[in-house]
Structure 1
Amino acid sequence: MSLQPSPAISADKGWKVWWKLTRPHTLTAGFVPVILGTVMALNNTNVSIVLFLAMLIASLLIQAATNMFNEYYDFKRGLDNEHSVGIGGAIVRNGVKPKTVLNLALIFFAISILLGVYICINSSWWIAVIGTVCMLTAYLYNAGPIPIAYTPFGELLAGFFMGVIIILISFFIQTKDITLPIILVSIPVMILIGAINLANNIRDLKGDKENGRKTLAILIGRKGAIILLASMFAISYLWIIALIVASTVTPWLLLTLISIPKPIHAVKGFIGKTESIQMVSAMKATAQTNTIFGLLLSIGFLIDYFI
Structure 2
Amino acid sequence: MNKEKILIFLEFVELRTKIASVFPMMIGFLWTYYHYQQFNWLNSILFAISVIFFDMCTTAINNTVDYHKAIDMNYKHEENVIGRNNLSFKTMIMIVFALLAVATVFAISLIFLTDFLLLILGGLCFFLGITYTFGPTPISRSPFGEIMSGGTMGFGIFFLAVYMTMYEKLLTSVHTMGNINISFAWFEAMKIFMMSIPLICLIANIMLANNTRDLETDIINERKTLVFYIGKKNAVILYQILSLLPWIAWLLYIVSGILPVWSIISFGLIPKHYGSVMRFKEKQTRETFPEAIKSFTLFASMYVIVLLLASIIG
TM-score w.r.t. length of structure 2:
0.85
| Preserved CA contact (<8 Å) 2:77 2:84 | no
Q: Larger Rg: 1 or 2?
A: 2
Q: Secondary structure at the match of 2:83?
A: coil
Question: Which runs of 5 or more structure 1 residues have no equivalent in the other structure?
Answer: 1-11, 274-278
Asked if 1:150 corresponds to 2:161, the answer is: no
Question: Of 261, 282, 294, which residue of structure 2 is paired with 1:271?
Answer: 282
The whole-number CA distance in structure 2 between the counterparts of 1:292 and 1:272 is 21
The whole-number CA distance in structure 1 between the counterparts of 2:232 and 2:55 is 27
| Preserved CA contact (<8 Å) 1:253 1:297 | no
Asked if 1:301 corresponds to 2:307, the answer is: yes
Give the CA RMSD over aligned residues. Answer: 2.2
Q: How many equivalent pairs are there?
A: 290
| Preserved CA contact (<8 Å) 2:29 2:162 | yes
The whole-number CA distance in structure 2 between the counterparts of 1:186 and 1:249 is 14
Q: Residues 248 and 118 from structure 1, CA distance in 2 versus in 1: closer, same or farther, beyond 3 angstroms?
A: same
Q: Which has the higher helix share?
A: 2
**How far off its partner does 1:264 sit?**
3.0
Question: Which runs of 5 or more structure 2 residues have no equivalent in the other structure?
Answer: 171-187
Q: Residues 112 and 218 from structure 1, CA distance in 2 versus in 1: closer, same or farther, beyond 3 angstroms?
A: same
**How far off its partner does 1:181 sit?**
3.5
| Preserved CA contact (<8 Å) 2:72 2:220 | no
| Preserved CA contact (<8 Å) 2:28 2:158 | yes
Q: 1:35 maps to which residue?
A: 26
Query: Percent of counterpart pairs with the same letter?
Result: 22
| Preserved CA contact (<8 Å) 2:211 2:227 | yes
**How far off its partner does 1:24 sit?**
2.8
Q: 1:233 maps to which residue?
A: 243
Higher mean alpha-carbon deviation, 174-183 vs 296-305, is at: 174-183
Q: Secondary structure at the match of 1:282?
A: coil
Q: Which residue type is aligned with residue 60 of structure 1?
A: I
**How far off its partner does 1:131 sit?**
1.2
Q: 1:67 maps to which residue?
A: 59
Q: 2:289 maps to which residue?
A: 283
Q: Residues 199 and 92 from structure 1, CA distance in 2 versus in 1: closer, same or farther, beyond 3 angstroms?
A: same
Q: 1:76 maps to which residue?
A: 68
Higher mean alpha-carbon deviation, 249-258 vs 78-87, is at: 78-87
1:179-226 alpha-carbon deviations (Å, 9 max, x no partner): 243221111101111111101101111111223222111111111111
Q: Secondary structure at the match of 1:280?
A: coil
| Preserved CA contact (<8 Å) 1:229 1:267 | no
TM-score w.r.t. length of structure 1:
0.87
Q: 1:198 maps to which residue?
A: 208
